Amino acid sequence: MFELIKARLRHGYQAIPNPLQAQINPAFPGCPFLAADADLPALAALCPTGAFSEKGLDLGKCTFCGACQRKYPEMIDFKPDFRLASDSREALYIAPGTQYQARFASPNTKLFQRSFALRNVSAGGCNACELELGASTNVNFDMGRYGIEIVASPRHADALILTGPISRSMAEALAETWKAIPAPKCLILCGCCAISGGVFAPSVQLDRSFLAHWPASIYIPGCPTHPLSIVHAIHSFMGAK
């Protein structure tokens, strides 16, 4: 008993006061700026997931590995800003000469303003996004303060939050879980693998046909997604005042 009190006193208050406005370490690679004169073919040659094209950078494919920034720091700069998510796939493309900004064009209807229950399905996820999603509920990030919770049953969920590139053997279980969530419901793609297949995109062992039938409402880039990015994304979508 006394050991516990001693440990608790030393431990102190650990919650981040406002996760939406938190200061993150400058080493964190977040929202990128792509220079207007960036040599896109040179950047594309370095990128392990083919995130660069003539359109610019696709944040849905980016693993934030930093290979491009380390070689061409004058062309691309990942700013320490965790507000990475958007509500459309197109919004994740960054044209040369622009600074990426999170975009939530149409904050959700009033449906989920104060309460939002998530059911996670890991479909080939490497356990990094899964751990970060779990961390979003811990004492530091505590997304429960905004009414966002992770529930055990799809019957209790408002949204399915998908992690991983959807391995072929999880395709059926994913579809079944989605079916078990009562409408109205939405789909959240958490992490580079879920959005685009990531490093696993060229693998024949994926089956991403599920995503052709069901459009996603939130796209959260990252490899893995930072808990602050997750909290910001879902909170922005809820449109809470």
Partner 1 sequence: MANPILIQSPDQLEFTTFTQKLRELMQSGYTLLHCFGSDEGLMYALLGKSGDVQLLCSTFPPGKEYSALTVDFPAFSMYERSLYEDYGIRAWGHPQLKVLKAFTDDHADHNDYNFLASESPALHEVGVGPVHAGVIEPGHFRFICRGEIVEHLEIKLGYQHRGVERLMLKGDIRTKNCLAESIAGDTSIGHALAWCLVLEGLAGTKAAGFHTRMIALELERIAMHLSVLSALSADVAYIMGQNMFAALRTTVINSSLAICGSRFGKRWLTPGGVNYSISKAQADTLSKTMEEVRIQVTDCCEALFNSSSVLSRFDDTGILKIQDALALGLTGITAKSSGIFTDARMDYPLSDEISFTALCENSGDVWARAHLRYREIIQSLDLVSRNLERLDPSAQLCVALEDFAPDSIACGIVEGYRGRIVHLCKTDPAGKPLWYKILDPSFTNWQALALVMRNGQISDFPICNKSFDLSYSGSDL
Tell me which residues touch partner 1 (CB under 8 A).
Answer: 3-4, 6-8, 10-11, 14, 25, 27-29, 48-49, 63-67, 70, 120-135, 138-140, 150, 152-153, 164-165, 167-170, 173, 176-177, 193, 198-200, 202-206, 223-224, 226
SS3 32: strand
Nearer to partner 1, 82 or 104 (CB): 82
Q: With 0-12 CB in 10 A as exposed, 13-18 as middle and 19+ as buried, what is 199? A: middle
Nearer to partner 1, 91 or 211 (CB): 211
Nearer to partner 1, 96 or 164 (CB): 164
Nearer to partner 1, 91 or 181 (CB): 181
Place of tokens 């370490």: 25
Nearer to partner 1, 79 or 103 (CB): 79
Q: How far is the CB of 36 from partner 1 (least distance, A)?
A: 25
For residue 87, list its beta bridge partners. Answer: none
Query: What count of other Cβ atoms lies within 10 Å of the Cβ of residue 212?
Result: 7
The b-or-e profile of 178-193 (16+ CB within 10 A means b, else e) is beebeeebbbbbbbbb
Q: How far is the CB of 62 from partner 1 (least distance, A)?
A: 10
Q: How far is the CB of 213 from partner 1 (least distance, A)?
A: 19
Place of tokens 């789909």: 187
Nearest to 30 by CA among 53, 54, 59, 51: 59
Half-sphere exposure of 64 (CA within 13 A, CB side): 25
Nearer to partner 1, 3 or 54 (CB): 3
Q: Which helix (H) or strand (E) holds 227?
A: helix 227-238
Q: How far is the CB of 207 from partner 1 (least distance, A)?
A: 8
Q: How far is the CB of 105 from partner 1 (least distance, A)?
A: 28
Q: Which residues does 48 contact at the CB level (< 8 Å), separation at least 6?
A: 63, 65, 67, 199
Q: How far is the CB of 221 from partner 1 (least distance, A)?
A: 14
